Amino acid sequence: MASPFTDPAFYADRYPTYTALRTSSPILQVSLDGGTSTSAVVTGYDEARKAFTAPLSKDAGAYFADRPSGRSLHPAIARTMLTVDPPEHTRLRRLVTKAFTPARVDGLRPYIRALAEQLVGNWESGTELDLVEELAGPLPVTVICQLLGVPTTDRDSIRAWSTDLFATGDHQRIDAASHALAGYMAGLIEAKRAHPDRSLLSDLISVHDQDEDRLSEDELLSLAVLLLVAGHETTTAAIGNSVLALLQHPAELEHLRTSPHCIADAVDELLRYDSPVSIATWRWAPEDVELAEATVPAGSPVFVCPGAANRDPAKFPDPDRLDLGRANAGSHLAFGHGIHRCLGAPLASAEVEIVLSVLLAHSPGLRLAVPADQLVWRQSRLVRGLVSLPVHV
Ligand code: HEM
């Protein structure tokens, strides 16, 4: 069976495919890999919002119990907050939310600004460089390492393992990286236990609720690894996609330059326009599930597509237009919705906001160094992001 997701053209520009799928039906059974088995693919906005709160399961363990996958992913990555259902999920989310507070994100803002200024401050006027390599890549991994308390000297290894984890299709590479990263994190947890500091990891080690419930050793490990992975590639993609969208829309860029107080709304519209998590993580229907007009049959995997839902004209008029003044941009589903809604959304938004404001101040003449149709996009269903973004400074 032909699959739109195996066509390299899909990764260069997903939006015509999303429009075709949504027009055919906002929930459609589609083959992901060209094989005979199909998954429900959700491309309509209302349907996606419903799917995010429907009684679908994220418990991969239950689904794959009688379907051997032949994989050897480290258990800390195979089983995380993103792959469990209530009540286990509720408990984990409650404990991590106690440590990962809005005050902690606010406290990181000066660090993020100083880091962005340092990275951009190194650029020489009149040169050409890759903005992913020089800014969008290093900034989020450095911020997430700072948050967790990962020593500066280990950040390059973290970046390499984390990149490997997103190597769609290359199971051997993904599984090996999962073991390397989990092994490293287990050592770091041991070190923080012996010498606690003010990092989020130290706080997660000691966090407890009224009933003295704490995170177990396995839970701590999988949370630490999840935060690292979830907070890195997604934010790299968000920065790259946002800068590209602005460079392609000079009038909108000028609007932002003259109205810097609009930056938070602008970031919402940028996340809507080219959503970094284009197809959300894996779900499945443990029984027949009614979703809008459709029934997802028991046993079917379900892929909700924020990238498609955020371009649904029924919700966002003229959806393919970047409009930094769009009134309802904040209703986007770029961070998901429901109980699994992105835990790092405030941090991610702060990073994109700060990076854009630093770029506006330091690099007024920034422009694309290659035609947009020559840009190379990652071949990942999950993350829509650039491999590189060559710019003239
Ligand atoms: C612009 C950057 C980001 C985007 C677009 C993004 C997007 C998302 C989305 C769509 C989900 C829900 C997935 C689903 O339901 O299938 C999610 C979950 C999650 N994100 Fe993010 N994310 C970003 C940055 C971050 C950062 C910086 C962190 C950590 C510091 C983070 C941590 C998480 C965690 C832990 C979850 C799982 C929440 C749960 O299962 O309850 N994300 N993210």
CATH code, domain carrying 293? 1.10.630.10
Mutate to test the pocket of ligand 1, among 49, 222, 234 (most ligand atoms within 8 A of CB): 234
289-291 vs 294-296, strand pairing mode: antiparallel
- Number of helices (H) and strands (E) in the chain: give both, helices first: 18, 9
- Give the pLDDT of residue 209: 66
Mutate to test the pocket of ligand 1, among 274, 304, 342 (most ligand atoms within 8 A of CB): 342
Nearest atom of ligand 1 to the alpha carbon of 144:
30
CA separation for the pair 72, 172 (Å, rounded) = 8
- Give the pLDDT of residue 199: 94
- Give the pLDDT of residue 311: 98
Structure tokens at 362: 């330091």
CA separation for the pair 144, 148 (Å, rounded) = 6
- Give the pLDDT of residue 256: 94
Tell me which residues have their CB closer than 6 angstroms to ligand 1: 81-82, 93, 144, 226-227, 230-231, 234-235, 238, 276-277, 280-281, 306, 334-336, 340, 342-344, 347-348
Asked if 252 and 322 count as a contact pair (C-beta separation under 8 A), the reply is yes
Asked if 147 and 343 count as a contact pair (C-beta separation under 8 A), the reply is no
Q: Give the domain range for residue 349.
A: 4-392
101: left (phi over 0), alpha (psi -120 to 50) or beta: beta
Mutate to test the pocket of ligand 1, among 335, 351, 356, 381 (most ligand atoms within 8 A of CB): 335
- pTM of the predicted structure, to 2 decimals: 0.95
pLDDT digits (tens), the chain, 393 positions: 678 888 889 999 999 999 999 999 999 999 988 888 899 999 999 999 999 999 999 997 777 766 656 677 888 887 889 999 999 999 999 999 999 999 999 999 999 999 999 999 989 999 999 999 999 999 999 999 999 999 989 988 998 898 888 766 778 888 899 999 999 999 999 999 999 999 999 999 998 766 778 899 899 999 999 998 888 899 999 999 999 999 999 999 999 999 989 999 999 999 999 999 999 999 999 999 999 888 999 999 999 999 999 999 999 999 999 999 999 999 999 999 999 999 999 999 999 999 999 999 998 889 999 999 999 999 889 999 999 999 999
For 84, the 3-state DSSP assignment is: coil
Asked if 300 and 40 count as a contact pair (C-beta separation under 8 A), the reply is yes
* Residue 232 Cα to ligand 1 middle (Å): 10
* Residue 134 Cα to ligand 1 middle (Å): 23
Nearest CA, atom 2, ligand 1: 235
* Residue 242 Cα to ligand 1 middle (Å): 17
* Residue 272 Cα to ligand 1 middle (Å): 15
Number of domains in the chain: 1
Nearest atom of ligand 1 to the alpha carbon of 281:
16
- Give the pLDDT of residue 170: 77
- Give the pLDDT of residue 165: 82
Nearest CA, atom 31, ligand 1: 344
* Residue 250 Cα to ligand 1 middle (Å): 30
Nearest atom of ligand 1 to the alpha carbon of 232:
27
* Residue 345 Cα to ligand 1 middle (Å): 7
Nearest atom of ligand 1 to the alpha carbon of 276:
5
* Residue 281 Cα to ligand 1 middle (Å): 10
Nearest atom of ligand 1 to the alpha carbon of 52:
15
- Give the pLDDT of residue 244: 98
- Give the pLDDT of residue 67: 62
* Residue 277 Cα to ligand 1 middle (Å): 9
Q: With 0-12 CB in 10 A as exposed, 13-18 as middle and 19+ as buried, what is 156?
A: exposed
Length of the chain measured in residues: 393
